[in-house]
Structure 1
């Protein structure tokens, strides 16, 4: 057994082994450190109705962090938001979603695992149009010239992490100003628009006319908000790939310790 072999080593032998080890490997050695930068959130919005990412979790030490939020009222209409992040992975899930009767989802799950993203939808529809259960990266669906949805939006970040946004809804996206506006398109805008936005009494003929009337009614509000009125992100997960900082190479250290038998 190993213990018996060690018991027969003399003090001189131990000294010799120590001297050789110090000569070959150096007096100190470094250890590799794992880096983490994982996060997730349930919902966020920019534009007329800004919402900070919530619920939001972040893990920088590898420990898994979780949180959840129950019941968001209309027009957001979300039953449950669950998030978790840690150990080079992140996940965000939305349950029972109903955005102003325009966007409906039973379950939306967004995951990031070792810098690989995935999105799954169950029971999803946009203005009556069925949404794909397993959308391709950056798959875009136009409900009308006034409402678009991007699914499985994936962004490579400068720090090497990947961000996966499950669903991004855009109200009045940039597009052709000459595109016609149908009554049902304008109805979607009425349902999704924040209450503080004044809308025309009649349906404008084109997107360009709609923008002009919105500017007139709201004091150049659309210009102040950029090209879009509102962008809502539902479920987002960010994670990095597992990698280790290499340990420093050992340097030979000269020693005067004698090697004796």
Structure 2
């Protein structure tokens, strides 16, 4: 029986033109080396590297679990809690309250002219006003230099609201749960908020995509099957700046434990060499005779 997480209710509106979501099942990768079942909650590569944390593996098939989630101090990523478990051809991850880019827009100094324009928006027709293409300052993230055109705002009123009342993070993730058993697995993701706007994530739908933009690209439910029989499923892969920073959340690998070596058979002990003993002579057979009679 496969383990499954109860579905999380997602109440969200899709944000077009910002984040790409795709369900990926990669082709088999040649790898003959045996690998253990394992799981980790968070890892990151790039300007802000983070080792797999917490990480657990099972070399002998016995169940291992860890909740020791301690991230290095960094301006990019924070996580409240996470638990990872791995055993014989089974693994799972539970991850809660992930924040990417905290207070990313709070440092943006809105030009006085734009502030004045926002303050004087007309009561009617404001939704038709175009978004000015203004450069944004360095946001402290590994991203190309963004402008107001890169923000998830469809019109000038949305841009004013985004800059004058900035959200608490670039990306907020309520929960990510991942499990695998053998060569199968599943993902359950709570609500995702991108710059203050919630996004629906249909994790069971194949190749669901929202067009990407310079801010972030996210891959959901990335799966890899290998020729050694192992299977890996990763809940979310967040790509910032075209690969400048890659964050992976909730990854589980299922594999059978390596076979124990067969003990060599015990060689029999050579018996001592037999030494021939001299033959034992048989006892003499008595012979009956008659003695002469004398008178």
Which has the higher Rg, Structure 1 or Structure 2? 2
Question: 1:58: Cα distance to partner?
Answer: 0.5
Gaps of 5+ in 2: 1-33, 102-168, 263-295
Gaps of 5+ in 1: 1-34, 174-227, 248-261
Deviation per CA, 1:146-173: give whole Å up to 9, x if none: 3100010101123221111110000122
2:213: which partner in 1?
A: 144
Contact kept, 8 Å, 2:59 with 2:257, in 1: the verdict is no
Q: Does 1:236 align with 2:236?
A: no
- Aligned equivalents of 1:139 and 1:229: distance in 2? 24
2:160: which partner in 1?
A: none
Question: 1:138: Cα distance to partner?
Answer: 6.1
1:134: which partner in 2?
A: 203
More helix per residue: 1 or 2? 1
Deviates more, 1:142-151 or 1:58-67: 142-151
SS of the equivalent of 2:67 reads strand
1:109: which partner in 2?
A: 177
2:153: which partner in 1?
A: none
Question: 1:45: Cα distance to partner?
Answer: 1.1
Deviation per CA, 1:20-67: give whole Å up to 9, x if none: xxxxxxxxxxxxxxx983100011111212222111101121111000
TM-score normalised by structure 2 residue count: 0.48
1:120: which partner in 2?
A: 188
Contact kept, 8 Å, 2:48 with 2:76, in 1: the verdict is no
- Aligned equivalents of 1:51 and 1:243: distance in 2? 28
2:290: which partner in 1?
A: none
1:116-195 correspondence runs (5 A): 116-127=184-195, 128-136=197-205, 139-142=208-211, 144-173=213-242
Question: 1:98: Cα distance to partner?
Answer: 1.6
**1:139–1:61 CA distance, 2 compared to 1 (3 A):** farther
Contact kept, 8 Å, 1:122 with 1:133, in 2: the verdict is no
1:198-217 correspondence runs (5 A): none
Contact kept, 8 Å, 1:137 with 1:153, in 2: the verdict is no
